[in-house]
């Protein structure tokens, strides 16, 4: 599993790849907490994801909710090349984003993009 957090000024970039499953969920959770702790924009970049499960999906939603609650921007990039994540979203029936704080983080929501489009999170 590849989990990196980089900070450029106010923004933080989290790079996640490899096996994003239950066994690694704690690490990704910590990385995201760290990224949001800076108080600025957070970009999650998916890089060569080999495996993803529902724990990863929950963390994405939790990050989205956190961004909304804190009024910061959270973006998801690299989804177009992360087939396993797209398949996970689809199989879990999560593309509809029922219960999300705003429009969906991934395609299916009206404003979200998978190419790094910023999602202005609202409190």
Partner 1 sequence: MTEPLKPDDAMDDVLQSLIGGFRDEARELLCDMESALMELEERPEDGELVARAFRALHTIKGNGAMFGLVELERFAHDLEHVFDLLRKGLMAVSPEIIDLTLGAKDRLLALLDPEGDNPEEGRLRDIDRERIAKVLVASEASAPAESPAPPRCATILDEPGDGESDALPAALVETFKEEARDLLADLEGALMALENNPNDEELVARSFRALHTIKGNAGMFGFMELEAFAHELESVFDQLRIRRLPVTRELIDMTLEARDRILNLLYGGNDESERELRTQEIDALHRISAQGLAGETPAAVEPAVQADWRILFKPDRSLFAGGTDPLMVIGELRTMGECVVTALLGAVPALAEIDPGACYLSWEILLSTSRTLQEIRDAFIFVGGDAAVEITPVVRTTAAAVAVLSAASQAVGKEVVATGECGPVLPAGDQPVEGRGAGIAARGSVAEAALQRSGQVASTLRVAAAKLDTLVDLVGEMVTVQARLTRIASLGADPDLLSVAEEVERLTAELRDHSLSVRMVPIGPAFGKFRRLVRDLSHEIGRDVEMKTEGEDTELDKNVIDRLNDPIVHLLRNSIDHGIETHEQRLHAGKPARGTVKLTASYAGANVVIRVEDDGAGIDAAAVRNKAVSRGLIAESDQRTDRELYALMFLPGFSTSEKVTTISGRGVGLDVVKRAVEALRGRVHVESRNGQGTVFEIRIPLTLAIIEGLEVVLGGDHLILPLAVVKECVELVRRPGDHGRECSLAEIRGELVPFVRLRDWFRVPGETPALEQIVVTETDGQRVGLVVDYVVGGQQTVIKPLGRLFRGVQGLAGATILGDGTVALILDVVQLVQHVQLVENEDPTAA
DSSP letter for 14, please: E
- In angstroms, what is the minimal distance from the CB of 6 to partner 1? 18
How many CB atoms lie under 10 A from the CB of residue 22? 11
User: Binding to partner 1 by residue 1, rule CB under 8 A?
Assistant: no
Question: Per-residue x/- mask for partner 1, residues 69 to 88, rule CB under 8 A?
Answer: x------------------x
User: Binding to partner 1 by residue 29, rule CB under 8 A?
Assistant: yes
DSSP letter for 107, please: B
Among 17, 19, 38, 58, binds partner 1 (CB under 8 A): 58
The dihedral over CA atoms of 65, 84, 47, 81, expressed in degrees to the nearest 10, equals -110
The dihedral over CA atoms of 121, 115, 99, 27, expressed in degrees to the nearest 10, equals -90
Can you give the binding site for partner 1, defined by CB under 8 A? 22, 25-26, 28-29, 32-33, 36, 53-55, 57-59, 61-63, 65-66, 69, 88, 91-94, 96-102, 108
């Amino acid at each position: 599993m590849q989990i990196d957090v980089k900070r450029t000024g106010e923004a933080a970039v989290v790079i996640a790849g490899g096996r994003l499953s239950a066994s690694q969920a704690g690490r990704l959770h910590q990385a995201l907490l760290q990224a949001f702790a800076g108080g600025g924009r957070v970009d999650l970049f998916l890089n060569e994801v080999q495996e993803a499960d529902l724990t990863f999906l929950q963390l994405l939603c939790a990050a989205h909710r956190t961004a909304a609650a804190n009024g910061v921007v959270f973006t998801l990039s690299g989804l177009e090349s992360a087939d396993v994540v797209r398949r996970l979203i689809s199989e879990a029936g999560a593309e509809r984003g029922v219960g999300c704080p705003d429009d969906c983080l991934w395609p299916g929501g009206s404003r979200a993009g998978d190419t790094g489009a910023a999602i202005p999170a609202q409190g």
